[in-house]
Chains A and B, each alone.
Chain A
C-alpha cells in the first residue's frame, strides 16, 4: 500500500518528484500505515544518539554487504533483512541519513537493485530534520516482523562492473570524488585516513563533479535548473546519455546517481561500486593523473 506522493511545489520540476519527501510530509505521515522510515548513516552510532520517532536503523556496512564477497546481500539475505526491519514488498520506504543523505542514497540504490518499488529519500536528511527542531527520540521502535519475498538482485540496469566500465570508454563518466582524489594528489577522502589504493588519479575521460555540488547548504538537493547547469552545462552531459558514476567505494556516487536518474530523468545511469578502490589497484587498467579528464585510451571502448 503506497502512501500518496509529496506534492511539495519545490519537487515539481524534478523528473521523478515521487522519489523525495519533505520534512513536513514525513512529520505528517509518521504514523501512516504502510510507511517504514529507515535511517542509514556513515556514523554507526549516530542513530543511537537520537532519531526520527519510529525510524529503524539500517547499517550499510554490516547489513547490506556480504562480508566475504565484496558484494551486496543476495535475494535471501535481502528478504531476511527486510522482514527483520518490518518492511513488506509494498511498503513505502523513506530513507534518511547524515552528511546530506550520502549513505541514505547508497541504501536507496541497493533497494533499487532489488526492485523495491516505492523507496524515497527525505530531502535534506537528518541534519535538516534536526535544524528545524523536530522531534528526536532514543526509543527504538518495536518492529513487527513481516514477510518479504526472495527477489533476485538485478545488477544489469543501475550497476556497473569493471569490464563494463572498460567497455564504456567514449561515453560519459562522472567522477564524484574531491578534486584532490581526482587529480591523484591523494588516494583517499580529504582528511580521512589512507584507503590503501596503489595509484592515484581518475578513469580516463571521466568528468570531475564532486558529489556535494548536487546539494544545497541545508543538505537538500539543488533545484532542477541548478542541477542542469552543473551536469548538462559544466559536465557536458546530454539528454539520453548512457552514464557511469563512480567514487571510492560507490557511496558518494550513489548520491549523484540519484540526482541524475530521479531528479534530471536520465534513464541510463549506472553506479560503478567497485570504484577507485578497485580501479586504482587493478593491473593494466588505464588511469590519468592531474585535473584534466584526459583522452579515451587507445584500444578501449565500444
Chain B
C-alpha cells in the first residue's frame, strides 16, 4: 500500500462510521475537475444505460522511467459516493510509479470501514473502480514499452 493511500485508510479507520461518511463527502468535494483536453471529449464518457452513475476514468502513464501514473475522474454531483471514492484513489495514487499503483491490494476498498454503511453492491463498485484503474495502468505501461 503506497504511503499516501495508507495514510488515508488509517484516517478512515481512526474515526467513527458517521465521521467516515462525512470524510468521504469531503473527499467527493475535493475531486479535481477534468483538464480541458479531456473535458472536451464527452465521447470518452461511459454512458448511462439505465440508472447507474456515469463515471469517467482515464489513466495516463509517463512513457519512460517509472511510468508515473496520472488519474483523471469525472462523476456528476448527484453521485457523491462514487466521487468520494474516486477522490480517495486520486489523492492516494496520483503521481505514483505504475508499480506502486499495481501493488495496491484489490480489497483496499474494504479497509475504509464502510462495509456496514454501504451496500455490498456499492462496495463492489469501488472494488471494480480500483480494478479498472489497475487494468488501464497495465495496458498503458505495456503500450509504452512496446
Residues in chain A within 8 A of chain B (CB atoms): 43-46, 48-49, 61-62, 67, 98-100, 102, 127, 178, 188-196, 210, 212
Are B125 and A193 neighbours in the complex by a CB distance under 8 Å? yes
Are B124 and A193 neighbours in the complex by a CB distance under 8 Å? yes
Question: Which of B1-9, B37-45, B59-67, B113-121 is near enough to bind chain A?
Answer: B113-121
Dominant secondary structure at the B interface: helix
Q: Which residues of B contact A195 (CB under 8 A)?
A: 120-121, 124
List 23 A-B pairs, Cβ < 8 Å: A44-B21, A44-B81, A44-B118, A45-B28, A45-B84, A62-B116, A98-B78, A99-B51, A127-B78, A178-B50, A188-B121, A189-B51, A189-B121, A190-B49, A190-B51, A190-B52, A192-B52, A195-B120, A195-B121, A195-B124, A210-B50, A212-B50, A212-B51
Residue of A nearest to B48 (CB): A191
Chain B contact residue count (CB 8 A cutoff) = 29
Residue of B nearest to A191 (CB): B52
Question: Shortest distance in angstroms between A209's beta carbon and chain B's nearest beta carbon?
Answer: 13
Are A45 and B24 neighbours in the complex by a CB distance under 8 Å? yes
Kindly state the separation between the CA atoms of A45 and B118 in the bound complex, as whole angstroms.
10
Q: Which residues of A contact B82 (CB under 8 A)?
A: 43
Kindly state the separation between the CA atoms of A233 and B119 in the bound complex, as whole angstroms.
36
State the 10 A-B residue pairs at the shortest beta-carbon distance, nearest first. Answer: A193-B124, A190-B49, A45-B80, A191-B52, A193-B128, A190-B50, A43-B81, A45-B25, A45-B81, A61-B119
Are B80 and A46 neighbours in the complex by a CB distance under 8 Å? yes
Tell yes or no: B145 within 8 A of A by CB: no
Tell yes or no: B79 within 8 A of A by CB: yes
Are B78 and A48 neighbours in the complex by a CB distance under 8 Å? no
B72-102 contact mask (Cβ, 8 Å, vs A): 1 or 0? 0000011111101000000000000000000
Question: Shortest distance in angstroms between B131's beta carbon and chain A's nearest beta carbon?
Answer: 9
Kindly state the separation between the CA atoms of A70 and B131 in the bound complex, as whole angstroms.
29
Known interface pairs A62-B117, A178-B50; 20 further A-B residue pairs with C-beta atoms within 8 A, sorted by A's residue number:
A43-B80, A45-B81, A46-B78, A48-B22, A49-B28, A61-B117, A67-B116, A99-B51, A100-B51, A189-B52, A189-B121, A190-B49, A190-B51, A191-B50, A192-B52, A192-B121, A192-B124, A193-B125, A193-B127, A195-B124
Dominant secondary structure at the A interface: loop
Q: Which residues of A contact B10 (CB under 8 A)?
A: none
Q: Which residues of A contact B84 (CB under 8 A)?
A: 45
Q: Which residues of A contact B25 (CB under 8 A)?
A: 45, 48-49
Q: Which residues of B contact A44 (CB under 8 A)?
A: 21, 81, 117-118, 122
Residue of B nearest to A180 (CB): B49
Kindly state the separation between the CA atoms of A210 and B22 in the bound complex, as whole angstroms.
34
Question: With A45-B28, A62-B116 in contact, do A191 and B81 touch (Cβ < 8 Å)?
Answer: no
Question: With A43-B80, A48-B22, A49-B25 in contact, do A178 and B49 touch (Cβ < 8 Å)?
Answer: yes
Are A48 and B21 neighbours in the complex by a CB distance under 8 Å? yes
The 8 Å CB contact of B77, one of A49, A100, A102, A212, is A49
Residue of B nearest to A181 (CB): B50
Q: Which residues of A contact B51 (CB under 8 A)?
A: 99-100, 102, 189-190, 212
Question: Shortest distance in angstroms between B82's beta carbon and chain A's nearest beta carbon?
Answer: 8
Name B124-144 residues within 8 Å CB distance of A. 124-125, 127-128
Tell yes or no: B33 within 8 A of A by CB: no
Residue of A nearest to B84 (CB): A45
Q: Which of A100, A102, A189, A210 has the most CB of B within 10 A?
A: A189
Kindly state the separation between the CA atoms of A48 and B19 in the bound complex, as whole angstroms.
12
Q: Which residues of B contact A49 (CB under 8 A)?
A: 25, 28, 77, 80
Q: Which residues of A contact B24 (CB under 8 A)?
A: 45
Residue of A nearest to B129 (CB): A193
Residue of A nearest to B29 (CB): A49
Question: With A193-B121, A194-B124 in contact, do A48 and B50 touch (Cβ < 8 Å)?
Answer: no
Question: Shortest distance in angstroms between B122's beta carbon and chain A's nearest beta carbon?
Answer: 8
